[in-house]
Amino acid sequence: MKRPMTITEKIIAAHAGAEYVAPGDIVKVPVDTALANDITAPLAIRVFRETGREMVFDPDRIVLVADHFVPNKDIASAQQVKTVREFAAKLGIRHYYEPGRGGVEHVILPEKGLVTPGELIIGADSHTCTYGALGAFSTGVGSTDLGVVMATGRTWLKVPATIKVNYTGRPGAWIGGKDLILYTIGILGVEGANYRALEFGGPALKHLSMDNRFTICNMAVEAGAKNGIMEADEITLAYLKDRSSKSPMVFRSDPEALYERILNIDAASLEPQVALPHSPDRVKAVSQVGRVNLDQVFIGSCTNGRLGDLEIAASLLTGRKASTRLIVLPGSSEVYLDAIKKGIIETFVKAGAVVGPPSCGPCLGGHLGILADGEKALSTTNRNFLGRMGHPGSEVYLAGPAVAAASAVLGRIAGPEEI
């Protein structure tokens, strides 16, 4: 008898050429798209060479993005980007992006229509799970796995069990994807979904734009998950319409599919959420955080660097001044241009922000806003590990763009209702 399956199991089964797969099965699958960045690609290229292959499996299915230490922050970074650029040119990889053409990898792949529902994406970056928002199976690996994928077009996967998260109710005015996912990680813990798929669903999703949905799937890995995923709906298909010529394969979980655990979260009752140092699961409602004076606010990254995020922040900053250092890095050139057209960049600059190039920047403590000993920052990024944004004696609080803007204005962690 055919076993009911989750969306994750269905996509893996379809790729494995199997009628069905079950959690724990180890399968070998073809990969639709393989991704690496300026940190992970140089190692993956070395591994690719070690395999002895002359050609990559398909130059049009490999995406290489220079986004972490760009514009090149030092000579060593410049050498790494050069390695990637030359490799792309030599092997005919068209999808090579550096600043001015691209932006942060997980912002630009969906934007450029490189991911469609039902696909299987492997990326040498842990936040590859972002694309689950489009109904694709996508997961992060390291450079050796990716180097082998570049050579063979295939990888092995252990089929994950699935945890279902149902969001109900209509989220409040200032509640976005970041608040939902932080709250969820607070319940699950940083290891709560290790080796599992996190499937997000429920009636609240229809109130969430693609930008908010990317934010949710982006942080699935912060609960340890292998992938985050959502079923594609009208909002997904409308997003893809002008971006991708590929035809989507829309998979849905069977009603009787087996879940390891089901969480029900009422989005209507949520306050804006904040994760306290030094772990993304130390989550509190903003009103419960207490007084925390800030030195810096950062708005950007693959989590909250999209147009919708900048719009929310700008709506709170209009006619106001930041009383902290405020750094804004739009997630991509497209986001940057749209933000210019809408007057959002002007709002940021007038509020006293420094608006920099699309780059990971300070998210991983690379450059463009590193913290000194004892400094506290509020950031719209996804990780606040010890030393993540600079000195090990600094502290990072995570929140969405509304809390970030309100906090920048008041110089302390604050909710949008306070200004």
Partner 1 sequence: MILEGTAWKFGDNVDTDLIIPARFLNVSDAEELGHHCFEDLRPGFEGLVKSGDIIVAGKNFGCGSSREHAPLAIKAAGINLVIAASFARIFYRNSFNIGLPLLECPEGSFDQGERLKANLKTGEITDVSKEKSFQAKPLPDFMNAILDAGGLVALVKAKGIL
Q: Which stretch binds partner 1 (CB under 8 A): 188-196, 243-251, 326-334, 340-348?
A: 188-196
User: Minimum distance from CB of 190 to partner 1 (Å)?
Assistant: 6
Give the separation between CA 350 and CA 321, rounded to whole angstroms: 7
Strand order across the beta sheet in which 162-168 lies = 227-229, 197-201, 162-168, 261-266
Q: Is 329 in the site for ligand SF4 (CB under 6 A)?
A: no
Q: Which of 115, 150, 363, 413 binds ligand SF4 (CB under 6 A)?
A: 363
Strand partners, 199: 164, 229
Residue with tokens 């639709």: 32
Q: Which of 304, 379, 380, 382 binds ligand SF4 (CB under 6 A)?
A: 382
What is the number of alpha carbons within 13 Å of residue 328 lying toward its C-beta?
Answer: 31
Q: Is 398 in the site for partner 1 (CB under 8 A)?
A: no
Q: Is 190 in the site for partner 1 (CB under 8 A)?
A: yes
Furthest-apart CA atoms within the chain: distance in Å: 64
Task: Provide the angle, in degrees to the nearest 10, between the axes of the packed helices 75-91 and 41-50.
Answer: 50
Give the separation between CA 24 and CA 232, rounded to whole angstroms: 25
Q: Is 127 in the site for ligand SF4 (CB under 6 A)?
A: yes
Number of residues that bind partner 1 (CB under 8 A): 52
Q: Is 413 in the site for ligand SF4 (CB under 6 A)?
A: no
- Residue 312 burial (CB count, 10 A): 24
User: Minimum distance from CB of 218 to ligand SF4 (Å)?
Assistant: 8
308-327: contacts with partner 1 (CB under 8 A): none
Q: Is 155 in the site for ligand SF4 (CB under 6 A)?
A: no
Residue with tokens 């600094």: 394
Residue 120 or 316 having the CB closest to partner 1: 120
Q: Is 147 in the site for partner 1 (CB under 8 A)?
A: yes
Give the separation between CA 14 and CA 27, rounded to whole angstroms: 11
Q: Which stretch binds ligand SF4 (CB under 6 A): 202-210, 282-290, 358-366, 391-399?
A: 358-366
197 is written with which tokens? 């798929």
Q: Is 85 in the site for partner 1 (CB under 8 A)?
A: no
Distances 107 to 129, 169, 234, 359, 382 between C-alpha atoms, Å: 12, 27, 20, 11, 14
Concatenated DSSP letters of 268-282: GGPPPEEEPTT-TT-
Q: Which of 39, 235, 317, 327 binds partner 1 (CB under 8 A)?
A: 39
Q: Which of 10, 15, 61, 68 binds ligand SF4 (CB under 6 A)?
A: 68
Name the 3-class secondary structure at 14.
helix
Q: Which residues of 292-306 are buried (b: 16+ CB within 10 A; e: fewer)?
A: bebbbbbbbbbbbbb
Q: Which stretch binds ligand SF4 (CB under 6 A): 47-55, 102-110, 164-172, 185-193?
A: 102-110
Q: Which of 385, 417, 418, 419 binds partner 1 (CB under 8 A)?
A: 385
Residue 124 or 175 having the CB closest to partner 1: 124
Name the site residues for ligand SF4 (rule: CB under 6 A). Answer: 67-68, 104-106, 125, 127, 301-302, 360, 363-364, 381-382
Name the site residues for partner 1 (rule: CB under 8 A). Answer: 26, 28, 39-40, 42-43, 46-47, 50-52, 68-69, 73-74, 76-77, 80, 123-126, 128, 140-145, 147-148, 151-152, 154-156, 190-191, 194-195, 224, 226, 279, 364-366, 383, 385-388, 392
